[in-house]
Each structure stands twice: as structure tokens, then as C-alpha cells.
Amino acid sequence: MFCRISHASQFYFRLICTFFTCCLAGNVEGQLCNGSLGDPVVNITFGNGTSGNTGYTPTNAYTYTTSQCPNDGFYTITKSTSGCFSNSWHTVSTDHTGNGAFMLVNASYDPGDFFLTNVTDLCPNTTYEFAAWIMNVLNRSGIKPNITFSIETTGGNVLQQFATGDIPEDFTPTWKQYGFFFTTPANNASIVLRMRNNAPGGGGNDIALDDITFRPCGNVLITSAIQGNSTDTVNICDNVLNSYTLKGTISAGYASPVYNWQLSTDLGTTWTDIAGASALTYLRTATPAGNYWYRLSVTEKTSAGIPACRIASNYVAINVHAKPLVNAGGKRVMIAGHGIVLNGVVTGENPLYYWDPPDYLSDINITNPLATPLADKKYTLYAVTPFGCSNQDTASIKVIAGIFVPTAFTPNNDGKNDTWRIPFLDPVLGAEVSVFNRFGQLVYHTEGGTVDWDGNYKGQTQPSGAYVFSVHFKNDYPDIKGTILLIR
């Protein structure tokens, strides 16, 4: 299988792979890349499987069908296949990447071309890595696919060829990558990609094809590193404002190289040039939380404006981790002798947390311990992530002898005693408070909330007089009943 290494040791491993020819399935033919690679400038993915025939096969060679089980000499573009030919094919539930479609080919009886396309978005006199993912979909012994990849000029001259040899069956559906390297002509970068099936059809020789890519290959090695750091990854917390110097190294080979540091914030899916970062070093300043990957891209000055000509280094990662969010629950009121459950909340990257001090707490390692202090008490909830990012918050508990219910209020908007409130009635007690007029009509009600009656009912001012109230607790604290005077 074709090797892909994308961290700092990428180019060293590539050299080792080249030496032992581990990177190609079958015999190694053609030029191997001894330098760094660029991003895919051509990426044939076969879309999402809804557009039908994509036109990648030679005229009259194979026939397109909508069936997920194409017969000999037919092909389809699909997201999956199952139950084909008495289940002699694998059930293939996804394409190579798991989010699109693939080409499914049932070989014709006579060997021949099954894929042909022109590729025009390449640079002249440039070495490229060609790669494609292939699966033998037969799940039992049969005719084995044997494919020759051919890179040709538009005039028919062969620039490079590579043969896979027999592709064996697997017990499970297995995508394998095959590839080789070639150099475009100096006068014209347009090439023809041809795939030929060397084996006959019939009992076997059935393949799935996906993700055909062309990547520029330089004759130089480019590496990136974080200066003063022994690894290519740094994990820091978002309150650390350190700057880091990123340093690139490039071997000889360019007459007039142009440098561009690039950034990816989506784990390498997309890369963008960093404005002004055009030297071998780049000073990286503090950023908010996120994953920041950096690499150095290089191209010859004469091709600086053509992304297809760039090659890139390994990436280095600076992962900025947010401190955990901690809420200890704020100010609380506890009735003496009854205890109260703390309302701690901790979120973040797998944080560990604990309460301090441990006095009168049922468990310091849970967010909602039962607290039974004998007097007013403060508790601090501490949290720390595996990356050392920490945070804390404090809850205070006021211990009272009992619930005091005011017996009168004067809602005359003078700013004094305008509402009927029950102080220290903690919402967590879940108290149900009701007020009735002299006719037994409910004029105020709240449950598990703050008591704050302004003397109105459905927007209507209630008359002066005596009102009956009741406070019902859901725990073992006794109910409270009595009367209050509304005075205007």
C-alpha cells in the first residue's frame, strides 16, 4: 500500500520507504519521489453518486448502468453495493473516505482500457505522484484484477507506466492504494491517464476505484519545526500568551525559491497562506483556543502563482486548549439541620474536579455533593484538564435557623416594601408558594422560584386586606401557612 506520513518524520520515513520499496504494491517502476510532496492538484472522487455517468471511461469500452451490481463490461458510480451475484461480491457500504461515491467496474471478457481521462491542471517539467485506491470486490477465489496505469502525452507518447500485478481477494472489503511517479513534458503539462485491465472478465476481475490524485513532488526536502521544541506538537492552555518561532529547512534544488507559511484550522483538510509569512521562519503569536497546524510551502519564483507547482513540508501543530468552564452554583441558603445539594457544573476536555475544603461534604469528587455545614461556609470547585488547563469557582452557603415569612407589604410604588418576598427561600428547595384571597381564589403562585408578588392578579390591582398563604416543601421541611396583609 502507498505510504502516507504527514508529521515531522514524514520525509525521513519516505526515504526509508523508498529504499525498501514498501510504498508501492507490486514491483517499483519509474521515478520515486525523494523530496517533499504538495497537495493534490487533481482529485477525482466520483462525487456523491447522484450525477450518474461521469464520463471517465473510453468510448464504447464499457457501458454505464445504474445497477449496483453491474454485469460484465458495465460500470456504475455508486455509494455502495451489496448482495451481488449470489453474494460473491463484498458488501461495500462506503467509498474509500466514507463520504462519497466510487466507480464499480465488472471487467469485460476481453482485456482492455476501462478508464481514460485528460488531466490539464499540472505544471510543465514537474514530477508528480499519481495514486489511486482500488478494491478487489470478489470475496472468493476467482480471476484477479491486474491493472496497468499509463501516463501519456496527448500525442500518445508514454511518459510512465506502472502495473499492479494480480490484486488478491481479501476476507473483508479492503481499499488499497497504488501509485508511482512521473514527470510532465517541459513544453506541455497536459497528460492522458489510462487504466487498462490486463485480465479477462468472467468469474472475477471486478474492482472498485476511488480517489485518484496527482500531487507535485519536489526534488528537495522541506521540513518544519517549532524552534526550541523537541516534538512537532505543542499543547498549551488559552491563558498562555507565549509566542513560538516556526522554522523551515530546505535542501538545495531551487534556483529562486518562494516561501509561504500556511495555516490549517480544520486538521489539515484545507490550508491557507498566512499573509506576510514569506521567510524561512515565522513568529506565531497567541491565539484563542483551537487546533492550529502550520507548514512551509515552497515553489520556484517563476511558478509562484500556480498552486499546482507547490510542495510542502510536514506540519507542526500548536493545539490551544480552553480552560474548563466551572460554575460552583453561586450563593445558596440552607436551613439548619437539613443540608443542601451544591449545584456545581464543570465542562471541558475531560476535566478532573474536586471541592475544597472537604468539611461537611458527602463527596468532594462529584459536582453535586450534599453539604451540611453547621454555620455559613464557602466551598471552591476546582477543575483541571489533562493538558493542565485549570479553572475554579466558589459557592457560598448561608445557614439560617428557619424560613421567615413577612406578614405585610405595601405595593404603592414608593420603593419601600413594594413586593411580598420570602428572603432566603432557596429555589433548590422546590417550595410551592400559593396566595389566596378571602374568597379562596388563587391570586399568586410560584414553584421552585423566587417569591416576588407585586399585589396584582392577571394585571389587576388586588384590594387591601388579608390574604392566606401556604409554603409547601418537597423535602422533609415542614409546611408554613399564615396570613399576610396587603396595605395600600
Is residue 20's pLDDT more than 60?
A: no
Residue with more model confidence, 477 or 194: 194
CB burial readout 67-96, b (16+ within 10 A) else e: ebbbeebbbbbbbebeebeeeebbebeebb
CB 107 within 8 A of CB 205: yes
Is residue 59's pLDDT more than 80?
A: no
Is residue 76's pLDDT more than 90?
A: yes
pTM value is 0.69
- pLDDT tier at 360 (50, 70, 90 boundaries)? very high
Is residue 21's pLDDT more than 60?
A: no
Is residue 14's pLDDT more than 70?
A: no
Q: What is the mean pLDDT of residues 18-41?
A: 53
Q: What angle do CA 406, 408, 412 make, to 5 degrees?
A: 125
Q: Give the side-chain half-sphere CA count within 13 A for 239.
A: 7
What is the largest distance, in Å, between two alpha-carbon atoms of the chain? 105
- pLDDT tier at 483 (50, 70, 90 boundaries)? very high
- pLDDT tier at 15 (50, 70, 90 boundaries)? very low
Is residue 474's pLDDT more than 60?
A: yes
- pLDDT tier at 469 (50, 70, 90 boundaries)? very high
pLDDT number for residue 32: 53
Question: What digits encode the pLDDT tens for the residues 142-172?
Answer: 999 999 999 999 888 999 999 999 999 999 9
CB burial readout 309-322, b (16+ within 10 A) else e: bbbbbbbbbbebbb
pLDDT number for residue 193: 92
**Under DSSP, is residue 488 helix (H, G, I), strand (E, B) or coil?**
coil
Question: What single-letter amino acid sits at 182?
Answer: F
* C-alpha cell recorded at residue 1: 500500500
CB 132 within 8 A of CB 105: no
What mean pLDDT value characterizes the chain? 88
Positive or negative: CA dihedral 258, 262, 268, 271: negative
Q: What is the DSSP letter of 88?
A: T
Positive or negative: CA dihedral 173, 44, 311, 35: positive
- Which stretches of 200-337 are assigned E, i.e. beta strand? 206-217, 222-226, 233-237, 244-250, 257-264, 272-273, 281-284, 290-300, 311-312, 316-321, 325-327, 331-335
Question: What digits encode the pLDDT tens for the residues 368-399?
Answer: 999 999 999 999 999 999 999 999 999 999 99
Strand 331-335 to 390-400 pairing: parallel
Is residue 337's pLDDT more than 60?
A: yes
Question: What digits encode the pLDDT tens for the residues 221-259?
Answer: 899 999 999 999 999 999 999 999 999 999 887 889 999
Cell 458510480 belongs to which residue? 77
pLDDT number for residue 41: 85
pLDDT number for residue 253: 79
The torsion region of residue 459 among left (phi > 0), alpha (psi -120 to 50) and beta comes to left
Question: What single-letter amino acid sits at 177?
Answer: Q
CB 104 within 8 A of CB 137: yes
Q: What is the mean pLDDT of residues 473-483?
A: 86
CB 421 within 8 A of CB 430: no
CA distance 62 to 258: 45
pLDDT number for residue 53: 67
pLDDT number for residue 425: 84
Q: What is the mean pLDDT of residues 203-217?
A: 91
Cis peptide before 357 (omega within 30 of 0): yes
Helices (H), 181-290: none
**Under DSSP, is residue 379 helix (H, G, I), strand (E, B) or coil?**
strand
Long-range contacts, stretch 281-288, CB < 8 angstroms, 24+ apart: 281/227, 281/245, 281/246, 281/247, 281/248, 282/245, 282/246, 283/243, 283/244, 283/245, 283/246, 284/243, 284/244, 284/245, 284/246, 284/318, 285/243, 286/240, 286/241, 286/242, 286/243, 287/320, 288/238, 288/320
Is residue 125's pLDDT more than 90?
A: no
pLDDT number for residue 89: 96
Identify the CA nearest to 213 among candidates 41, 404, 470.
41
Cell 506520513 belongs to which residue? 5
Is residue 7's pLDDT more than 70?
A: no
Residue 245 β-bridge partners: 283
- The mean-pLDDT minimum among 72-76, 345-349, 388-392 falls in 72-76
For 254, 330, 477, 479, 480, the CA distances from 431, given in Å and listed in that order, are: 78, 19, 10, 9, 10
Question: What digits encode the pLDDT tens for the residues 268-308?
Answer: 989 999 999 999 999 999 999 999 999 999 998 888 888 78
